[in-house]
C-alpha cells in the first residue's frame, strides 16, 4: 500500500474481498478528538458506502442532544486501510467517515468538517496548508492491568539502545504505521525517562490530522502488547519534561513552490510567512483553548522545561513560541511549540491555519525576533521586547476563548458552544477538587 492511496468504491470492495477482510471499522472522532467507531461485517460494507451508516450520537461528546441524536457516518474510500495483524487479531480494515445529518447536510459538529472548510478557504487563496507534528508520549510500566507512573526506562535524549529499553517498541509502532501506509520520519528517546517521540513527514493538514489519530491508537495498542501503558498526557510527572506536539507549518502554492521562502527576504522568509507568523502571534491567546485543552496542559506550559510560556518568535531560540528551523528553500516553515496531544488535531490545525490566514489578510507585521533565552529575562526586559504571556490555566484560556469572534467563526457555533460547555464543566470540577498537595501543605499548619 502506498503512503497516500486514492481508492474508488469498487476498488475498496474488491480489495476487501481479495484480502478476506472480515470486519470494517467506520471511524470518526468526537469534539475532544477521541476516536469513535462503528464495526460492521464486511458483508455490509457496500451498503455503508452507498447509504452511510446511521447511528445514535446522543452520548458522543459535543455531538447532539437526545432530541436530535440521529446522524449518518459516510465512509470516505480514500481513507481505506487494512489494519496490520499486530493491531487486529481478525482481518479488519479501517475507513474514516464524514458525518451527515439525516437530511443529507453535513453535520456542523464534525470537527473534520471544520478543518475542511478553512483548508478550502486556503486553497481558494492559492495555498495548500501543510503540517508536520512532532508527537511525544510516555511509556509507563503496568501493575497487572493498572497503569503506573513508573517510566519504562531511565534513558535520556537520543540515548542508545543499552539504556533505551523501548527502541523495539518504537520500531514496532513504526512498522505498523508503515503497513497502514504511513511512513514515519524519525523515532527516538526524548529528554525524560520513559519519554519518546515519533514523527512522520509533513503533508496537507487533513492527512496529517488523520495520521495523528492513527499514531495515538497504534502506539497504545503496541504498548499494551509489551505490558506498558502509552500516555499522551502533557505533564504526567512532576519535575520532568512534558510531552508536546511541536507543529511545523507551511503554505505551498498551486505550482508546488514553498510560499514561505524568499531568498532575498529577511531570514529568507517571504512577506507571506511573516504575515502568517504575525497572525498566529496576534490570535494565539484566543486559540490556546484548542491547542492546550486540558487542565494538565498548563502544568507543561511553565518556565524551565523548553515548553513556551511567552508570545514571541525567533530563528534559533527554543524558548520562543514560534521557531524558524534553519533549513530553508522548499523546507521553509515555522514551528509552533505550544500545542499538545491532548487536543483534537482537526481543530488544532484549523485554528493554526485560520490565525495565519488572518495575518495575511490583515497584512500584519511581526515584532522583531527575540534570540535571547526569554526565561532569563526579567519582567521589565520582557516588557521592552513587547513579550506577553500565554494563558496560564485552562480557566484563563477558557475566558479568552469565550470572547473570541475569530474562534467561533472558524469552528462554527455548534462546536464552539459545545466545547465551551464541556471545558467550563471540566474547569469547574478541577477548581472545586481538593488535591493531595493542598492536604499535605495546609492541613498541618491551618
Integer Cα distance of 360 and 173 in angstroms: 38
Residue 207 DSSP one-character state: H
CB neighbour list of residue 340: distance below 8 Å, 6 or more residues apart: 232, 234, 242, 243, 244, 245, 291, 292, 297, 300
Tell me, yes or no, if 136 is annotated catalytic. yes
Selecting among 196, 246, 300, 333, the annotated active-site residue is 246
Integer Cα distance of 277 and 365 in angstroms: 9
Q: Which residues is 313 bridged to in the sheet? A: 322
Cell of 352: 493554526
3 state DSSP class of 425:
helix
Tell me, yes or no, if 335 is annotated catalytic. yes
Chain position carrying cell 507551511: 250
3 state DSSP class of 261:
strand
Selecting among 134, 210, 262, 274, the annotated active-site residue is 134
- Under 8 Å between Cβ of 317 and 374: yes
Cell of 110: 464534525
Selecting among 11, 47, 56, 371, the annotated active-site residue is 56
What one-character-per-residue DSSP string does 87-115 give? T-SS-EEEEEEEEE-TTSPBPTT-HHHHH
Tell me, yes or no, if 267 is annotated catalytic. no
- Under 8 Å between Cβ of 357 and 290: no
Tell me, yes or no, if 67 is annotated catalytic. no
Selecting among 274, 335, 340, 358, the annotated active-site residue is 335
Selecting among 164, 167, 172, 190, the annotated active-site residue is 190
Nearest Cα neighbor of 112 from 35, 46, 7, 9 is 35
Selecting among 136, 153, 210, 340, the annotated active-site residue is 136
Selecting among 196, 248, 323, 337, the annotated active-site residue is 337
Cβ atoms within 10 Å of 74's Cβ, excluding its own = 21
Encode 361-377: b = buried (16+ Cβ within 10 Å), e = exposed: eeebebeebbeeebeeb
What one-character-per-residue DSSP string does 11-22 give? HHHHHHHHTT--
Integer Cα distance of 383 and 366 in angstroms: 16
Selecting among 188, 201, 226, 318, the annotated active-site residue is 318
Selecting among 98, 167, 172, 197, the annotated active-site residue is 197
Integer Cα distance of 413 and 401 in angstroms: 13
Q: Which residues is 27 bridged to in the sheet? A: 37, 96
Residue 40 DSSP one-character state: E
Residue 246 DSSP one-character state: -
Residue 121, Cβ density class (10 Å: 0-12 exposed, 13-18 middle, ≥19 buried): middle
Tell me, yes or no, if 337 is annotated catalytic. yes
Tell me, yes or no, if 56 is annotated catalytic. yes
Q: How far is CA 288 from the centre of its chain?
A: 13
Tell me, yes or no, if 190 is annotated catalytic. yes
Catalytic residues: 56, 134, 136, 190, 197, 246, 318, 335, 337
Amino acid at each position: 500500500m502506498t503512503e497516500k492511496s486514492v481508492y474508488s468504491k469498487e476498488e475498496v470492495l474488491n480489495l476487501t474481498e481479495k484480502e478476506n477482510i472480515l470486519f470494517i471499522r467506520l471511524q470518526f472522532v468526537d469534539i475532544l478528538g477521541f476516536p469513535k467507531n462503528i464495526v460492521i461485517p464486511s458483508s455490509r460494507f457496500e451498503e455503508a458506502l452507498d447509504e452511510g451508516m446511521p447511528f445514535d450520537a446522543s452520548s458522543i461528546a459535543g455531538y447532539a442532544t437526545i432530541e436530535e441524536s440521529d446522524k449518518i457516518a459516510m465512509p470516505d474510500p480514500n481513507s481505506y486501510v487494512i489494519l496490520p495483524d499486530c493491531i487486529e487479531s481478525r482481518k479488519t480494515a479501517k475507513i474514516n467517515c464524514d458525518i451527515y445529518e439525516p437530511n443529507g447536510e453535513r453535520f456542523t459538529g464534525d470537527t473534520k468538517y471544520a478543518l475542511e472548510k478553512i483548508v478550502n478557504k486556503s486553497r481558494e487563496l492559492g495555498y495548500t496548508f501543510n503540517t508536520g507534528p512532532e508527537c511525544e508520549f510516555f511509556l509507563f510500566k503496568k501493575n497487572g492491568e493498572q497503569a503506573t507512573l513508573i517510566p519504562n526506562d531511565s534513558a535520556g535524549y537520543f540515548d542508545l539502545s543499552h539504556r533505551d529499553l523501548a527502541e523495539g517498541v518504537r520500531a514496532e509502532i513504526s512498522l505498523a504505521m508503515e503497513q497502514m501506509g504511513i511512513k514515519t520520519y524519525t523515532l527516538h528517546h526524548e529528554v525524560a525517562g520513559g519519554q519518546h517521540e515519533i514523527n512522520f513527514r509533513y503533508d496537507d493538514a487533513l492527512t496529517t490530522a488523520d495520521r495523528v489519530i492513527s499514531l495515538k491508537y497504534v502506539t497504545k495498542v503496541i504498548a499494551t502488547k509489551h505490558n506498558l501503558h502509552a500516555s499522551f498526557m502533557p505533564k504526567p510527572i512532576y519535575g520532568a519534561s512534558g510531552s508536546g506536539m511541536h507543529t511545523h507549518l507551511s503554505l505551498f502554492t498551486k505550482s508546488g513552490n514553498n510560499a514561505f521562502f524568499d531568498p532575498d527576504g529577511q531570514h529568507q522568509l517571504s512577506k507571506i510567512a511573516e504575515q502568517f507568523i504575525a497572525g498566529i502571534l496576534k490570535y494565539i491567546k484566543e486559540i490556546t483553548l484548542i491547542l492546550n485543552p486540558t487542565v494538565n496542559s498548563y502544568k507543561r506550559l511553565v518556565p524551565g522545561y523548553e515548553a513556551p510560556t511567552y508570545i514571541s518568535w525567533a530563528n534559533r531560540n527554543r524558548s520562543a513560541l514560534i521557531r524558524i528551523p534553519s533549513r530553508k528553500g522548499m523546507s521553509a516553515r515555522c514551528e509552533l511549540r505550544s500545542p499538545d496531544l491532548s487536543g483534537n488535531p482537526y481543530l488544532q490545525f484549523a485554528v493554526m491555519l485560520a490565525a495565519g490566514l488572518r495575518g495575511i489578510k490583515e497584512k500584519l507585521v511581526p515584532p522583531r525576533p527575540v534570540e535571547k533565552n526569554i526565561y532569563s529575562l526579567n519582567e521589565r526586559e520582557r516588557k521592552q521586547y513587547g513579550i506577553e504571556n500565554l494563558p496560564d490555566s485552562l480557566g484563563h484560556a477558557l475566558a479568552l476563548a469565550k470572547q473570541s469572534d475569530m474562534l467561533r467563526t472558524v469552528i462554527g457555533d455548534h462546536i464552539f458552544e459545545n466545547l465551551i460547555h464541556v471545558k467550563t464543566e471540566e474547569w469547574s470540577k478541577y477548581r472545586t477538587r481538593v488535591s493531595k498537595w493542598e492536604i499535605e501543605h495546609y492541613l498541618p499548619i491551618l
